[in-house]
A and B are shown apart, each in its own frame.
Chain A
Amino acid sequence: MSPYVPVNEVAAALARWKHLTALTQDQQETLLSKFVIERARKQQGLIMVLLVIVSAVIIALIVYTLTMDKVRSIATLKFVGAPDRTIIGLIVQQALSMGIFGYFTGLMLVLTFKPYFPRRLVLDPESVAIVFVITIVVCLAASTLGIRLALKVDPAEALASSG
């Protein structure tokens, strides 16, 4: 548009036409960020929350199953004098190593395939760190089910006659 043309008058003239609007640069940016990017952000956020919940449930079930498999070993440890904090430590270690292994595997895959992704995604170090913290928190939360089971194990189970 020519710099000698009054912008407001042109905008007012265009606004009289149905389906047409004249917007400034700032207005266009606001429209894009508020209605397009913000909506996509919310959708992605919702998917991320769902994925975190699903991951927590899966990790909790895996830790619980692995703990069930080790009931006799846990009973033996308790029998020979291992305190609860040692048992809890073993289960938390297992959950954390699973989470950290999953995190770095996932990060490696993201960095490898990001350039081939149809949409450009920004992956800043801050987000990477936040996801790591979330992973640790989820693993700790997910291990509580296994810890509860382990703490209930009776040391006398080590004496059960099945080999």
Chain B
Amino acid sequence: MAGTDKQPVVRVEHLSKHFGQGTARVDALLDINMEVYPGQVVGLMGPSGSGKTTLLHCIACILEPSSGRITLDGEVVYDERWLKADLRRLRLDKIGFIFQYPNLLPFLDGSDNVAIVLDLAGFSAAAARTRAIELLDYLEVGHRKHALPKQLSGGEAQRVAIARALANKPRIILADEPTAPLDSARARIVMDLLRRIAVDQSAAIIVVTHDEMILDRFDHIYRLRDGRLETGAAAGRQLASATVS
């Protein structure tokens, strides 16, 4: 397992989330505990309605949990209440997010879609553009830097979206079904890319997925069912080899 000797970048302790009150109360998450270390790629799996997206929203600081504790990059951000006033700034500084669909801004070209995150983070326009082009080159879509999102293929657009998520060098990368719109070959390429990023940038990556074909790309898999963690931690590679044997 990568990096277990280090401090976890993401630590979730006794996290619960419910919606509604009384008889209408729905427990979306119940007593979730998880840790993700630098360099790890972790899968979050489960059937629809199991709570994996809710958990991702809580870790991404866009949904307030009902109780528990969240520590991101060594900083406690939630402990029965948000401890940070500016959650958007927190996301900008610490979290990169890869959406199911690339969600690129349609009026900006590839490099500007990446540079906008750096602009928001306070980089100069020139520095933002240089870093954006470096990232696009790193993800092998540098030749498409002037293309508008509608001119990009699905795989290229997803790579630009990954470059945007990496722009501010976040320690945490959250991906919501990043391989869903891709065929299996491209899905594996994207997962290999995420693994390379996790190692190169010492980042913790959490991937929500339904795709059983990419199980062997994860260091850990957390399975959710009815808001509870079904299996604590089972190595993806071990799972895959067990299935094969």
Using a CB–CB cutoff of 8 Å, the interface residues on chain A facing chain B are 72-73, 76-83, 86, 154-156, 158-159, 161-163
Contacts and interface: CB of A to CB of B under 8 A. Distances in A.
B97 A80 contact: yes
Contact of B91 (A72, A80, A156): A80
Interface string B87-103: 01101110001011101
B62 A82 contact: no
B62 A163 contact: no
Contacts of B92: 80-81
Given A77-B105, A156-B57, 5 more contacts: A72-B103, A73-B105, A78-B88, A81-B92, A81-B121
Contacts, number: 55
Task: Name, among B88, B101, B106, B121, the residue most crowded by chain A CB atoms within 10 Å (CB to CB).
Answer: B88
Contacts of B232: none
Nearest to B53: A159
A79 B105 contact: no
Contacts of B164: 80
B181 interface: yes
Contacts of A76: 99, 103, 105
Contacts of B99: 76, 158-159
B105 A159 contact: no
A83 B87 CA distance: 10
Contact of A156 (B63, B88, B93, B100): B63
Nearest to A83: B88
Task: Name, among A158, A159, A161, A162, the residue most crowded by chain B CB atoms within 10 Å (CB to CB).
Answer: A159
Given A76-B105, A79-B91, A81-B92, A155 B117 contact: no
A96 B103 CA distance: 26
A79 B63 CA distance: 12
8 contacts: A79-B60, A80-B92, A80-B97, A81-B89, A82-B88, A83-B89, A158-B99, A159-B99
B51 to A, nearest CB: 14
Nearest to A159: B176
Nearest to A81: B92
Interface string B134-148: 000000000000000
Nearest to A82: B120
Given A73-B105, A156-B57, A79 B97 contact: yes
Given A79-B62, A81-B120, A83-B88, A161 B100 contact: yes
A163 B106 CA distance: 12
B148 to A, nearest CB: 13
Given A73-B106, A158-B103, A81 B62 contact: no
A152 to B, nearest CB: 15
Interface in B105-128: 105-107, 116-117, 120-121
A161 B91 CA distance: 21
A158 B164 CA distance: 14
Given A73-B105, A78-B88, A81-B92, A155 B62 contact: yes
Contact of B117 (A72, A81, A159): A81
Contacts of A77: 105, 116
A159 B57 contact: yes
A80 B106 contact: no
A99 B6 CA distance: 56
A158 B63 CA distance: 13
Contacts of A154: 62
B59 to A, nearest CB: 13
B203 to A, nearest CB: 16
A13 to B, nearest CB: 79
Given A80-B164, A81-B92, A156-B63, A163 B101 contact: yes
A86 B121 CA distance: 12
B143 to A, nearest CB: 24
